[in-house]
Amino acid sequence: MQTYFTPGPAQLYPTFEKHLKTFVDRQLGSVSHRSQVYRELHAFTVSQLRSLLSVPDTHAILFLGSASEVWERILLSMVEKESFHLVNGSFSQKFYQYALAAGKKATKMEKAPGNGFDFDEITVPEEAELICTTHNETSCGVQMTETEIHRLKEAHPDKMIAVDMVSSAPYPALDYSLVDTAFFSVQKAFGLPAGLGVWIVGKQCLEKAILLKERKGLSIGAHHDLPTLWKNALNNETPATPNVMLIYLLGKIAADMNDKGVDTIRKETEKKAGLLYGFARANDAFSPFVLSEHHRSRTVAVLDTQLPAAEIIARLKERNLVIGSGYGDKKATQVRIANFPATDVAQIEALVSELAKI
Amino acid sequence: MQTYFTPGPAQLYPTFEKHLKTFVDRQLGSVSHRSQVYRELHAFTVSQLRSLLSVPDTHAILFLGSASEVWERILLSMVEKESFHLVNGSFSQKFYQYALAAGKKATKMEKAPGNGFDFDEITVPEEAELICTTHNETSCGVQMTETEIHRLKEAHPDKMIAVDMVSSAPYPALDYSLVDTAFFSVQKAFGLPAGLGVWIVGKQCLEKAILLKERKGLSIGAHHDLPTLWKNALNNETPATPNVMLIYLLGKIAADMNDKGVDTIRKETEKKAGLLYGFARANDAFSPFVLSEHHRSRTVAVLDTQLPAAEIIARLKERNLVIGSGYGDKKATQVRIANFPATDVAQIEALVSELAKI
């Protein structure tokens, strides 16, 4: 068996197989998505996520096909004309490109990958309706802290703010009185196979979508439009047949995380990140790509390497440890190491010990 | 264990558990969607589906979140102004409503549920660019035969034609030289959990999408737009992280179906449909809802009931046989019985035998 430290798809959560077996044994793959059995399953997952991520009742928790789909639905539902994007990597850039493809005027503040954003350097264009932030840039391991995100919203209460936490939830402790919408994928820190995006979205976003559709006459999309998703969610259902298996498994793993305690998970994440970055600082063959400690991702560590990344990856693989290569043009000179809850302190220690031998 | 004759989610295919175990044992839930392992898995599924459904190389086979998502992508990619819909049930009506929500002019020819369409009664509006047909209306058990669909395209070679085969594929033997695009979901006749839509789409559809985007300046969507999906598919990849688990399982089940032979599957489907409808005609307490034999669905049998449907469903459930209720306002007076490949002749005989005792 290999241990995956790849930034998603990633190591599956230790209880994944147990819950999958229950799903199969209970024949939940065959139950109707309009049945009470399904509605209870759906409600359980929503309530576990609410508890884990401290999501208040002002916000709905919706299930879509992927976080990329959520990008599009946010832009269609919440932007009449203009969105503003903080771009410092491939995924924040894609969110920006989605805005252009959706026919919006999109503007951006851009930094080279590896550089993070802080509140006091950001000038938001006056006409922007939505500020798009990325808590964790998976491509280059940069984070924007919750504090900086919250300050940005406090300074612009008239604008909406979206938080991409695809590869960090449940780590960031967002304050949803200061976050209009946020989203993540399950194949990252929740340790599940890919195929489900989770969209956390406030009532104010729904109101904007209704305004755009009914008063402004805009198309806000036909599939998974926010008003239809919201209406179905009130009944613990989805408009189309959902991914019942992943919604079930997500609920069970969120419950396991709640049993452990989100504070414990966050502290362990920080401890493991400390081990990874501490090793990279101390070892001549590696160095953290992100120079500012404050901007270094706690969930995806990106390290510059002296040796070719492919060689390091191959040597670890002989020890059944799988890490990721750098993203895009950094493929040969960086490694990416996921630090998700599915791998514990001992596993990160074992990885660091093998890295040290290289 | 219960046997599900519900029209989707439905009984899982007999080999589902075996293939799921292999997926877990091989840790395929953790592999990168940009790796050779994934590309080979993806290529295998596409090749098995190509073989099973006789899809030529002129058409791509793409993976989306659901068939409902495919509705939207077809309308955005293939329609500049106007689509035409044959509507005789809830799902064909939803396809029509998606067209309106996507900002298109949509027209329809409508029949009451239970009534089917034939080629020679259909007048397609001159301005319509796309004709939307439904091979199998899951809500009321009506089919439009392949022959009638093919004749419609032959009479309108200048227009594109789309075929909804959500709850019938692999049963219909479509001729893709006469079908521009078709689509289905995996939780119906492929006997898988829900969460994956399959879009079969011809080169001419891609060309139309490029025309709409580049020459006409229309938004064809930001997420899963056809040119991006197509480009990635050439490399056996997807633009966003896909549902690797269901793509893997679909390939394995399509391979099992190929081993059995699609002709055998189609003949068994017809034999089982004959048993269900033969029983309903002979028994005073039931009657086929669709009067015209030619329009009766081979994969979802809808029967009018003398007794309240809920009572019939409850009595069968005591015998571990699960059938569906009527759709929408027919909930109390109809039952729906899926006739998918996951249940064999003996299981349909056992169901009919229990129905006869009621």
Amino acid at site B54? S
B227 part of contact set with chain A, CB < 8 Å: no
End residue of a domain, out of B224, B239, B259? B259
By C-alpha distance, the chain A residue nearest B73 is A223
What pLDDT score does A320 carry? Answer: 97
For chain B, say whether A124 makes contact (Cβ under 8 Å): no
How far apart are the C-alpha atoms of B273 and B279, rounded to whole Å? 10
Are A212 and A340 members of one domain? no
Could you tell me the CA-to-CA distances from B354 to A31, B284, B350 in Å, in that order?
Answer: 21, 15, 6
Give the pLDDT confidence of B55-107 residue by residue, as tens digits: 999 999 999 999 999 999 999 999 999 999 999 999 999 999 999 999 999 99
Q: B142 and B31 in one domain?
A: yes
- Distance CA(A181)–CA(B14), nearest Å, equals 42
Of the three residues A243, A259, A275, the one that is the final residue of a domain is A259
Distance of CA A357 to the CA centre of its chain: 32
Domain count, chain A: 2
Mean pLDDT across B2-15: 97
pLDDT band at B43; cut points 50, 70, 90? very high
pLDDT, mean over chain B? 97
B7 phi, psi to nearest 5 deg: -80, 30
According to the model, what pLDDT value does residue A300 have? 97
Q: Which member of A9, A33, A103 has the closest CB to residue B244?
A: A9
Residue B18's pLDDT band (cuts 50, 70, 90): very high
Best of A62, A223, A224 to mutate (most B CBs within 10 Å, chain B): A223
- Classify B117 in phi/psi space as left (phi over 0), alpha (psi -120 to 50) or beta: beta
Q: Are B21 and B128 in the same domain? A: yes
For residue A255, what pLDDT is reported?
98
Question: Is the Cβ of A8 closer than 8 Å to some Cβ of chain B?
Answer: yes
pLDDT at A115: 96
**CATH assignment at residue B291:** 3.90.1150.10
Which chain B residues touch A35 with a CB distance below 8 Å? none
pLDDT band at B238 (very low <50, low <70, confident <90, very high): very high
Put simply, whether B12 touches A (Cβ < 8 Å) is: yes
Does B182 reach chain A within 8 Å, measured CB to CB? Answer: no
Query: What are the b/e assignments for B112-132, b being 16+ CB within 10 Å?
Result: ebbbbbebeebebeeebbbbb
List, for residues A147-159, the tens digit of each pLDDT value. 999 999 999 999 9
pLDDT of residue A160: 98
Quick one: which of A246, A40, A236, A37 has its CA closest to B322?
A: A37
- The pLDDT assigned to A231 comes to 98
pLDDT digits (tens, 9 = 90+) for A81-124: 999 999 999 999 999 999 999 999 999 999 999 999 999 999 99
Domain end among B228, B259, B290: B259
H, E, C per residue of chain B: CCEEECCCCCCCCCCHHHHHHHHHHCCHHHCCCCCHHHHHHHHHHHHHHHHHHCCCCCEEEEEECCHHHHHHHHHHHHCCCEEEEEECCHHHHHHHHHHHHCCCEEEEEECCCCCCCCHHHCCCCCCCCEEEEECEECCCCEECCHHHHHHHHHHCCCCEEEEECCCCCCCCCCCCCCCCEEEEECCCCCCCCCCCEEEEEEHHHHHHHHHHHHHCCCCCCCCCCHHHHHHHHHCCCCCCCCCHHHHHHHHHHHHHHHHHCHHHHHHHHHHHHHHHHHHHHHCCCEEECCCCHHHECCCEEEEEECCCHHHHHHHHHCCCEEEEECCHHHCCCEEEEECCCCCCHHHHHHHHHHHHHC
How many CB atoms sit inside 10 A of residue B61's CB?
18
CB contact under 8 A, B71 and A241: no
Confidence class for position B131, pLDDT limits 50, 70, 90: very high
Q: E-strand spans in A119-212?
A: 130-134, 136-137, 142-143, 160-164, 181-185, 197-202
* Alpha-carbon distances of A307 from A116, A313, A335, A336, rounded to whole Å: 26, 10, 10, 14
Both B160 and B293 in one domain: the answer is: no
> In this complex, which of A4, A72, A223 lies closest to B98 when CB atoms are compared?
A223
Find the closest chain A residue to B247 by CA distance: A195
What mean pLDDT do residues A253-264 have?
98
Q: How confident is the model at residue B130 (pLDDT cuts 50, 70, 90)?
A: very high
Mean of the pLDDT values across residues B250-275?
Answer: 98
Examine the domain organization and report whether B182 and B56 are in the same domain.
yes
Residues A334, A251, single domain; the answer is no
Q: For residues A206 and A230, is the Cβ–Cβ distance under 8 A?
A: yes
- Centre a 10 Å sphere on the Cβ of residue B91 and count the other Cβ atoms it contains: 22
Give the whole-angstrom CA distance, residue A227 versus residue A213: 10
Pairing of strands B130-134, B160-164: parallel
Instruction: For residue B99, give the nearest of B67, B76, B123 by alpha carbon.
Output: B76
Among partner residues B101, B194, B244, which is closest to A244 by beta-carbon distance? B194
Q: ipTM strictly over 0.90?
A: yes
Distance set, CA A330 to CA A89, A309, A336, B216 (Å): 12, 9, 10, 37
Please tell me the distance from the alpha carbon of residue A53 to that of residue B272, in angstroms, as a whole number.
49
A29–B6 CB contact, under 8 Å: no
| Chain A CB within 8 Å of residue B8 CB | yes
User: For A240-258, how does the pLDDT look when each residue is reduced to its tens digit (9 = 90+)?
Assistant: 999 999 999 999 999 999 9
Chain B neighbors of A192, CB-CB under 8 A = 29
Q: Quick one: pLDDT at residue B323?
A: 97
**Mean pLDDT along residues B16-28:** 98
Q: pLDDT tens-digit profile of B133-148?
A: 999 999 999 999 999 9
User: CB of B210 within 8 Å of any CB in chain A?
Assistant: no
> Are B221 and A65 an interchain contact pair (Cβ–Cβ within 8 Å)?
no
Give the per-residue pLDDT at B126: 97
**pLDDT category of residue B247 using cuts at 50, 70 and 90:** very high
Q: Are residues A302 and A191 in the same domain?
A: no
Residues of A in Cβ contact (< 8 Å) with B99: 222
Q: Note down the domain range covering B348.
A: 3-10+261-357
Residue among B12, B17, B240 minimizing CB distance to A30: B12
Confidence of residue B343 (pLDDT cuts 50, 70, 90): very high
Q: How much of chain A exceeds pLDDT 90, in percent?
A: 99
Q: How far is CA B33 from CA A9, A150, A198, B12, B66, in A?
A: 8, 33, 20, 26, 19
pLDDT given for residue A223 in this prediction: 97
Average pLDDT over residues A26-30: 98
- One domain for residues B286 and B324: yes
Amino acid at A337: I
Tell me how close the Cα of A148 comes to any Cα of chain B, in angstroms: 28
Chain A residues within an 8 Å CB radius of B219: 101-103
The CATH number given to whatever domain includes residue A27 is: 3.40.640.10
Give the gap in angstroms from C-alpha B243 to the nearest C-alpha of chain A: 4
For chain B, say whether A69 makes contact (Cβ under 8 Å). yes
Look at B69 and A9 and tell me if their CB atoms are within 8 Å: no
DSSP H or E stretch at residue A24? helix A16-25
Contacts of B24 in chain A (CB under 8 A): 17, 20
Segment A36-67, tens digit of pLDDT = 999 999 999 999 999 999 999 999 999 999 99
Same domain as B306, residue B331: yes
pLDDT tens digit string along A124-145? 999 999 999 999 999 999 999 9
- Is B267 within 8 Å of chain A by CB? no
Query: What is the per-residue pLDDT for A345?
Result: 98
User: A140 with A272, same domain?
Assistant: no
B74 and B37 in a common domain: yes
> DSSP alpha helices (H): ranges in A55-175?
67-78, 90-101, 146-155
Instruction: Give me the count of residues in chain B.
Output: 358
Chain B residues 238-257 within an 8 A CB cutoff of chain A: 239-246
Of B341, B300, B81, nearest to B191 (Cα)? B341
Nearest CA in chain A to B195: A243
Tell me, yes or no, whether B219 and B313 share the same domain: no
pLDDT digits (tens, 9 = 90+) for A282-335: 999 999 999 999 999 999 999 999 999 999 999 999 999 999 999 999 999 999
